[in-house]
Amino acid sequence: MGRQGHAALRQRYHDVADRRQLDDDDCDGKVNEKDIPEIVFSTFTAGGYYKQGTLHAISLKDGAFVDKFSIPNVTQPGAGLAAADLDADGVPEIVGCMNPGPAGNSCCDAVAQNTGVIAFKADGTTLWTQPDTTKVHCGYEAPVIGDVDQDGQPEVLVGWTLLDGKTGAVKKEIDPATPGGRSSWASATSTATACST
């Protein structure tokens, strides 16, 4: 986007917590200079990076920002976002930490460092939620996406909890403080292979 583009983005959207490229507009299988840039990010107000985040998707077309959507009060913006195709439809979904509510404590601790997880379709509609904060600790940990167990389907990892990418259901909880937790996590990831060039 360049230095001037970032400055314009920050001028228009105050308190931007995170940015992500959303999709491949010309369907050539690559996100590159031929695509219309789409950026997904959360914002917050008055320094409240831990509550009441607004999810935005914008494009930059012909030198101007175009709003795709803005959905208020859906994220905990300080934890960041992740994006990947979770449901095999060829379009990336967006995963973030859930909004903790107006007081910052409707689901979690006072500064919302322990919220649930929410996944959105590329149009901003909700794909799934995982609100169980006894299992997921979004806010303390940011969501990341990958095929951790190498079953061909993406998972969402939040801290030591692995969620099914399509449904948000808990697939596995791992206690890193126990020898069994360490070894089972290692066995789930140790079969990864490097890409050849």
Identify the weakest region by mean pLDDT among 4-13, 32-41, 151-160, 161-170: 4-13
pLDDT surpasses 70 at 19: no
Mean pLDDT computed over 94-110: 66
Q: Which residue has the higher pLDDT, 109 or 43?
A: 43
pTM beyond 0.95: no
Tokens standing for residue 113: 């460092």
Instruction: Say how many C-beta atoms besides its own lie within 10 A of residue 51's C-beta.
Output: 25
Place of tokens 């999810």: 55
Residue 120 binned pLDDT confidence (cut-offs 50, 70, 90): very high
Tell me the average pLDDT across 151-174.
Answer: 92
Q: What span, in angstroms and rounded, lies between the C-alpha atoms of 11 and 9? A: 5
**pLDDT classification of 196: cutoffs 50, 70, 90:** very low
